[in-house]
A and B are shown apart, each in its own frame.
Chain A
Amino acid sequence: MSAAGSRFSTVSTRWTPDDVWALAPDPSSRRAAVATAAPSLWSAAGHRPAGDSTPPVVWGECAGSGAASYRVVAELVSPPDCSCSCPSRKTPCKHALALMHLWAEGGTEPGEAPERVARWLARRADARPGPPEPADPRAAADRLERREERVAEGLVELDLWLRDQVANGLAASRDDGYRRLDSMAARLVDAQAGRLADRVRDLSRLGAARDRPDRLLSEYALLRLLISAYRRRDDLAPDMRATVTCRAGLPVSADESAPVRDTWRVLGMYDFPAGQVHGRRIWLHGTATGRTAALVSFAPTGQAPQTPVRPGTAVEADLAFYPAERRARVVALHAEHSADPPAGAGAEEALRSYADALAEDPWLEAWPVVLRHAAPVRGDPWSVADAGGAALPLLPECSPCWPLAAVCGGEPATVAGEWTPRGLRPLAVWDRRARFADLHRPRTRPAAR
């Protein structure tokens, strides 16, 4: 973990009440927090302003329903570290949210941290992982090897299972398909290949979709490709090996030794289900390096995934990249600006960049594209056409995309989205006057016509 100072530098200065509410893990805790944010319920609410190398800290006591009052403290890093004496299992709980909200509205007194807060800060400093642990590297390597072996065993089983499905016919598996998929997924969980388990379990969501046989065969074939690649992983080039082990669900960590500094444009954000948790990916594009980065974070149900940057902006930041999948994490955030629309490209060029990315990672599910001079076109499904009339169809579940049509107003715009094997998922748009609009917020849409 990096020094605390670099983690919050811009975050602390720009918190608005809305930024606080954005941390709410779900609408109900947000509503509860709104009710708890009444200054009348709080006593001894104070904060220690940010120092050169210390983030702001805010504390207070909130009257509970009975005689008890809850003691809350939060360190305002991104995401905030909160502690509250209430029994809620949500993070942040309504008390922490309400307290941060009071602070964002200027409702807390600046001052020295009281003793209990100082103690908490000290405990946390102790608990924070220090410089690289002098742990036994041999033991770690052994652990990883054992895990690789277990995953390999799981994959042997998956291979046999896939073989049976195709030998007996996908049509035969239709009736008890869910049960079979789920039990296979459970066995993969046992083999510590959780990510593959999610991928298998997701297939049971296909239901009776019209393209179910197509998608089942593509998925099974790509799983089989992964199994073959995993088996030969030690013969693969390092990048491909990393991709394969990563896709199989082995743990990886970001390379913090050489962070990449750039002005990163934040193209768009998408929330997706991932097994028992939910995930959020934010696509970045480096203006100088030309690199694509995906900030991926996961949170258990009831907690908000990390959102260190906001779509539509450009951030000066250091990113540490993971060995595969363009995944990165923010090591230091130096500044955030409003930004012009990204340059973008035509539909053909967008697909070409996807093809190139596919060569590095055939299991790629989503790839960021930015279409220049693009306009939505109604149809089944809708599509987005560039100036030359080349068009990318939207994902069936994203069509129709009325907010996109409303923002464009019949004029060409710059559209950012994720290209997937089944079509484009629009995420954000810059209209003809370069005004940014986020399309990610889940909105009600009129029924398909």
Chain B
Amino acid sequence: MTTASTPVPGSPPPAAGDWSDLVSAALVGTARRTVPAPSGIPHLDRGDPARTLLDRAALAAVRARAGRLPTRFEPDDPGGFEPAPPESAPLPPEGAARRLADLLDEDSALLLEWLELARCRGVRVPPESLPALLDRCARDTRRMAPALLAVAGRRGLWLAGFDSRWGYLRLLAAAAELTVEEWRSRPAQERHALLEAREPRLTAADEPLLEEALADRSARVRGLAMGLAARLPESRHARRLARCAGRHLRRGADDRPEIRLPDPADPELARVLGVEPRPRQAGGRSRETRLQQLWTLISHAPLDTWRGRLGATPADVAAFAAATDGELLEALANAAVLQRDREWARALLPIVLERLTGGHDVRASRGTALLALLPPEERCSWALERLRADRREPTPDTVLPVVKHVECAWTGGLGEQVAEALAGAERGDASVVQLCAAAGPRMPPSLHDRVVAGVRARRVGERGLEALGRLADTLRYRSRMHKEFR
């Protein structure tokens, strides 16, 4: 029953041919096939062919299992793994590591917070969780991948090299070093992913790559490049855009926007928008389409084009747009979001949100996206200011419309305000439920006790009470998650 001394490559079970003879006979049936007599095992005969076959098969099967030999692995086998580069960052405490595994098992929305905590503490993801984490973040690379990159460690990058589905992480890491030639040699899908991965760290040095991408064969790549090029106001493309946009919009003598509708046959316009010029007489060149092209142009043209042209400062420009043309205001807001321009976002934000709370459609507005351009602390103090400006006692109804746009970790001050509003809540379940949902992942977990006090007070209805309980649980869960990193 012991193994032979020299294992055979591929290691077939002993007498593989004899075994397959038995299987063939069993498949056809002993009524039509004689029972094979495998070599090396006793030729039992039970009088009944089926039973004889089964007993011989039992001997052969157990012999094959007991005599199984290892396969051979040669050092140059392409399936082997090259050693990963050494790690420098430490692993998180055991509790935090277990928590990560739980978050992944449950596909929890709190995963991003765990990654951020890990980044702040300078620890890396335990290797056994990397595959599941890489899978999870592949579903939402825009939001998750930058956080992942910071904590995946060298092991994470090493691992990502073995499966194309994890390629996004390496793209993100490698995006800074890639040359135009290397980029050109990739398939369209990768070119798009690469460009997207480069987005968070775009600098003037990326201009050659963007020029290349603006003339890409793939329309999808061109579209992405357009948005990115707008973020480099000094680039040649941005200057072309500014020139072109300036020809179509200015402040008229009557202090109204003076618009010249774009001409679809204009070769320069086509060039800056990355579309084919169209002959004038072709159908479908409605005013609507041409207006649409104008808004596209404005969204992509560097915002500073309008400084001095529509108003002296960004705030003046925003006020002018708000006073005269709602669509222009939206286009400018769009431009600020697209170009990630903080200064313009600050100028546009109060006006865009003023209109929002004035009954405009929330979902269509760029308010939340503008706010997201500001650093978290600024977002929170902006919200606090607005809450203070409201003279009414804070209640879920008054607080919710403001804080729901603050999609980041709340500062203690803002959290306090929300906790106070929840503590004072009476009835009005709808706002309580929504406010609790918004507060769950954002409120400082230290405010847990305040929320529990709200549950105890039992002043809201059944659904509100449930929501408060859920919020208390989320805060406690997060508080534990934070503590586990210590």
Contact = CB atoms under 8 A, between A and B. Distances in A.
Given A356-B1, A409-B158, A391 B130 contact: no
Interface in B341-382: none
B338 to A, nearest CB: 34
A378 to B, nearest CB: 4
Interface residues of B, number: 79
B31 A407 contact: no
Nearest to B128: A437
Interface string A381-412: 01101100111110000000011011111110
Interface string A409-449: 11100000000010000000101000101110111111101
A121 interface: no
B27 A351 contact: no
B130 A37 contact: no
B388 interface: no
Contacts of B55: 221, 224-225, 228
A225 B63 CA distance: 13
Contacts of B48: 163
Contacts of B101: 441
B225 interface: no
Nearest to B7: A390
Contacts of A213: 23, 26-27
Interface string B32-55: 100000000000000011110111
B73 A383 contact: yes
Contact of A383 (B19, B49, B71, B83): B71
Interface stretch (B74-82, B258-266, B396-404): B74-82
> Would you call the interface of chain B mostly helix, strand, loop, or mixed?
helix
A172 B377 CA distance: 73
Contacts of B455: 38, 40-41
A196 B401 CA distance: 64
A437 B126 contact: yes
B81 A375 contact: yes
Contacts of B77: 377, 379
A139 interface: no
Interface string B192-209: 000000000000000000
B480 to A, nearest CB: 7
Interface in B81-131: 81-84, 91, 95, 98, 101-102, 104-106, 126-131
A172 to B, nearest CB: 7
B29 A166 contact: yes
B67 interface: yes
B133 to A, nearest CB: 10
A34 interface: yes
A359 interface: yes
B358 to A, nearest CB: 38
B31 A167 contact: yes
B86 to A, nearest CB: 9
Given A40-B452, A166-B50, A352-B3, A220 B80 contact: no
Contacts of B23: 213-214, 217
A64 interface: no
Contacts of B166: 446
A405 B29 contact: no
Contact of B58 (A225, A389, A411, A429): A225
Contacts of A405: 81, 159, 162
A78 to B, nearest CB: 19
A171 interface: yes
Given A35-B473, A421-B65, A437-B128, A162 B81 contact: no
A358 B66 contact: yes
Nearest to B5: A348
Contact of A220 (B7, B57, B68, B81): B57
A165 B165 CA distance: 46
B472 interface: yes
Given A170-B27, A171-B28, A391 B66 contact: no
B469 A40 contact: yes
A375 B469 contact: no
Interface in B449-482: 452, 455-456, 469-470, 472-473, 476-477, 480
A93 to B, nearest CB: 17
B174 to A, nearest CB: 20
A39 B28 contact: no
Nearest to B85: A409
Given A378-B81, A446-B163, 12 more contacts: A27-B105, A169-B31, A217-B57, A225-B55, A352-B2, A354-B66, A375-B80, A383-B73, A406-B130, A407-B128, A408-B81, A421-B65
12 contacts: A40-B452, A166-B30, A167-B31, A170-B29, A348-B7, A355-B66, A379-B79, A402-B162, A409-B127, A410-B84, A443-B132, A446-B135
Interface of A: 16-18, 21, 27, 34-35, 37-41, 159, 162-172, 213-214, 216-218, 220-222, 224-225, 228, 347-348, 351-352, 354-356, 358-359, 362, 375-379, 382-383, 385-386, 389-393, 402-403, 405-411, 421, 429, 431, 435, 437-439, 441-447, 449
The 8 closest A-B pairs by CB, nearest first: A169-B29, A378-B79, A221-B57, A402-B131, A409-B84, A390-B70, A385-B73, A410-B83
